[in-house]
Amino acid sequence: MVGRTLSHHLKHGKLTFLGKPLYNSLIAMELGYVRWKDRNKYFGPTSLVDEKLTAIVKTFERPETVTRLLESIKRFYPNMRVIVVDDSREPLELEGVKRIVLPYDSGVSAGRQAALEAVETSYVLLLDDDFVFYGETDLEPAMRAMEANEAIDIMGGTVVNLPSFKSADYRKAGLHPTSGESVLPEGALLGGFPVYDKVANFYIARTQRLKLVGWDARIKRLDHADFFSRAKGVLRTVYNEGFKVLHAQTPFNKVYMEKRRDVAMDRLVIMAKYYKKRELKRFFGLLKIL
């Protein structure tokens, strides 16, 4: 309780003047150490990744983080195709990637859908703009596993959150109520990987299969549970624990965080899509873990 209160004051209260430099310094040190540790590691070029995979990134008001992500991608996979969708007030000028500019604050779902429609390869790699590739972001083994197992539609990886180096467990992740039944029971093995109903927003997917679900542009922020709720009964999703990416969030970016917390309209859309009056109590409980 004390730790949670202190964390709140460091991020949002009178101690922000301490929290911001401390947090940024810690993240910089951790990323610096990881980069030093991986100094001799290099994955590309690889024809499987270069010819069949496109990374898609939706970014909003975080020029430093998306630049950091792109630099980390180019370090390990210099020839990989990348599509960046930007709905910031002043979109970045980027080289070496396909850039799609949308109207200000179009939202995550509209951005990801625009990126998906522009993909020309067999596979898509979904990324958040605050991810960082490192020595364990090895795409080729995951790609080979999907090539060998045509039944796998989505292969989710592990998002390693900084500064704690911990990851969320999605085995009990909440979904909205739908009539969809899992194609395979959760926990079953497919190609040697456990089946999940929901994984992190870090995954490789078959492009044409992903288009069967897509994203609902009406939902700007709370897209994660909505996507996997609709994917249930349609796509086969597995989890690959050894396929990893770093996650360095930006809790002190005021513009970004204010928009991220602006979810009132999303909640109304989700309520209308999934919930009846008797289910509203469950809905508001689910919001706490989205």
Q: pLDDT tens for residues 136-193? A: 999 999 999 999 999 999 999 999 999 999 998 887 778 998 888 888 888 899 999 9
Same-domain check for residues 119 and 228:
yes
Q: Is 261 exposed, middle or buried (0-12, 13-18, 19+ CB in 10 A)?
A: exposed
Same-domain check for residues 22 and 149:
no
How much is the mean pLDDT over the chain? Answer: 90
Same-domain check for residues 76 and 54:
yes
Same-domain check for residues 92 and 152:
yes
51 pLDDT higher than 80? yes
The pLDDT-based confidence of 43 (bands split at 50, 70, 90) is confident
Q: What is the span of the domain harbouring residue 36? A: 1-40
The pLDDT-based confidence of 281 (bands split at 50, 70, 90) is low
16 pLDDT higher than 80? no
Same-domain check for residues 166 and 252:
yes
Residue 115 Cα distances to 98, 182, 251, angstroms? 9, 27, 26
Residue 83 phi/psi, 5-degree rounding, is -115, 125
Sign of torsion over alpha carbons 138, 144, 147, 150: negative
Q: Does residue 121 belong to any structural domain of this protein?
A: yes
- Mean pLDDT value across residues 94-113: 97
Q: Does residue 91 belong to any structural domain of this protein?
A: yes
Q: Does residue 287 belong to any structural domain of this protein?
A: no
Same-domain check for residues 49 and 35:
no
14 pLDDT higher than 60? no
The pLDDT score that the predictor gives to residue 59 is: 98
